[in-house]
Amino acid sequence: MKVQAKAFSRRGNYVKAFPLYRQLAEGGDSESMVSLAYMYYNGWGVDKDYGEALKWFEKAAAAGDAVGMLGLGFMYENGRGVPKDMAMATDWYRKSANPGNEAAKENLRRLGLTR
């Protein structure tokens, strides 16, 4: 099912990818939780909904997913669905960078928090 969801996403067919990702995410797949979060965040195949994006990033982060943690950092940095909070953004970027997420490390460098 995940292979199908990814194939639909790569082709930009988020309407077909959405229910597959939803089922996988509800079954505990953190990568699918992140995919759902980005779909809600960007309005890909669903109405844009920062609250739903936040919920799925939080679930992914709670499951230890570094990309979910990165997404939370981005939401806090930009005040999307949450009040803008640079301390929270930094905290989430650091948590995401700890297991080696290069995008999180770059965000910390961009914010002048690491070299």
HEC letters along the chain: CHHHHHHHHHCCCHHHHHHHHHHHHHCCCHHHHHHHHHHHHHCCCCCCCHHHHHHHHHHHHHCCCHHHHHHHHHHHHHCCCCCCCHHHHHHHHHHHHCCCCHHHHHHHHHCCCCC
pTM for this one?
0.90
The answer to whether position 75 is within a domain reads: yes
The answer to whether position 87 is within a domain reads: yes
The answer to whether position 115 is within a domain reads: no
- Asked if 28 and 63 count as a contact pair (C-beta separation under 8 A), the reply is yes
The answer to whether position 13 is within a domain reads: yes
CATH label of the domain that carries residue 16: 1.25.40.10
The pLDDT of residue 115 = 64
The answer to whether position 39 is within a domain reads: yes
For 45-75, what is each residue's pLDDT tens digit?
999 999 999 999 999 999 999 999 999 999 9
Give the range of the structural domain holding residue 69, as residue numbers without chain letter.
2-110
Query: What's the total number of domains in the chain?
Result: 1
The answer to whether position 98 is within a domain reads: yes
The answer to whether position 58 is within a domain reads: yes
State the number of CA atoms in the 13 A half-sphere of 75 facing the CB.
27
